[in-house]
Structure 1
Amino acid sequence: MTLEKVSIKEINNEVSLSDSLNVIKDSFITVARELNLTEENCPSNPAFANLVNLQKMKDKGIGMFGLYKERNQIGFVAIEKAYDVFYIERLSVLPGYRHKGYGKHLMDFVFDYVKAQGAEKVSIGIVDENLVLKNWYKLYGFIETGLKKYEHLPFTVCYMEKVVERECSKITLTDRL
């Protein structure tokens, strides 16, 4: 399958940050509903994020990137460096674009980005009960490194990681917003 007119752009202004927030919320709300997560029982879930939360991430130096099909943002990923590991945060693809290769496109970008920064490991924390997502990451080469139940969360967090392979797909950052 070819992903026509798809680009990844760094999110670096208020308009693109606001557009990204909408993508994140619209993407995460589907799983939040499936798992009965609400703003009351899980306020930290990205489905309930706000612009202040996203701006705080940006201010911490977390890289933020939007996936665009033509001129419409359809995906998002944040990449946070912590020593020799990079954490994937808020990886999201709008529901209408799922299962068409866009998530893989974002992941390939993440791996290329991480490798270009000289790191070799990518890590993520996900809802352990979200088996579809967990299996997707496993198929992509992630291994489970631990489970943790936090008192403030109504689910178990599954930590996964992948060693970045030496040969990546060479996706490049095409524009800055």
Structure 2
Amino acid sequence: MAGKKRIAVPALPPAAAALRRSGALCPVRADESCAEQIAWMIGVSFAAQAKELGLDRQSCPDYVAFETAADVRRDLAGGTRAYLFYLDGVPVATVRLHIGPDGRTGSIDRLAVLPQYRGRDLGARCVYFAEGALRALGAKKVRLSIVASFAKLESFYHRLGYATKEDKTYPGLPFTVRYLQKKLPR
């Protein structure tokens, strides 16, 4: 296990513990105590993308793969909601969401499924959960962003009903960011 960082895994709350062996994906709202776990999951989940883009922490510290626990805590303190998703009692995915200043536009950020759990439709299930949570908070539409050159990821979101809206470039990011949007059903 040399080189692997050990992270304390938050326990399932008692109400969710019954789902431990059911095969159900169980979302649990995360708090600051989960920041290290979330940052670790995001780093592992986005490592291949960072490598594909030729990025490292020094060349592009703002890329999602290099997020820190302090970044997670900052987002949570700013009103962003984070969730960990458990499958059979094991945390396998995370997502963050928030409502924009207009009170009508929700945002899904930092969706990450651990590589060994991909291909099981967990990402889509996390997105649907996030959409429902945003709708409950008053969102009428959802916006998210991806690296524009990741066509397979864009196709994934298109299958979930998202439409491509615009591309933007930002200082410090050596790639184009593509924004997608979906109107939420009532």
TM-score normalised over the length of structure 2:
0.83
- Give the match for residue 11 of structure 1: 30
Alignment of 1:16-165 (within 5 A): 16-82=34-100, 83=102, 84-165=104-185
RMSD: 1.3
Provide structure 2 residue ranges, at least 5 long, that are not aligned to the other structure.
1-21
CA shift, 1:6, in A, is 1.9
Q: Structure 2 CA distance, aligned partners of 1:131 and 1:55?
A: 31
Answer 1 or 2: higher relative contact order, Cα 8 Å, separation at least 6.
Answer: 1
| Structure number with larger C-alpha Rg | 2
- Give the match for residue 175 of structure 1: none
Q: Structure 2 CA distance, aligned partners of 1:87 and 1:119?
A: 9
Q: Structure 2 CA distance, aligned partners of 1:68 and 1:90?
A: 16
Provide structure 1 residue ranges, at least 5 long, that are not aligned to the other structure.
167-177
CA contact under 8 A between 1:142 and 1:160: conserved in structure 2?
yes
TM-score normalised over the length of structure 1:
0.87
**Moved >6 Å (runs of 4+):** none
Q: Percent identity?
A: 27
CA contact under 8 A between 2:32 and 2:73: conserved in structure 1?
no
CA shift, 1:111, in A, is 1.2
SS at match of 2:120: coil
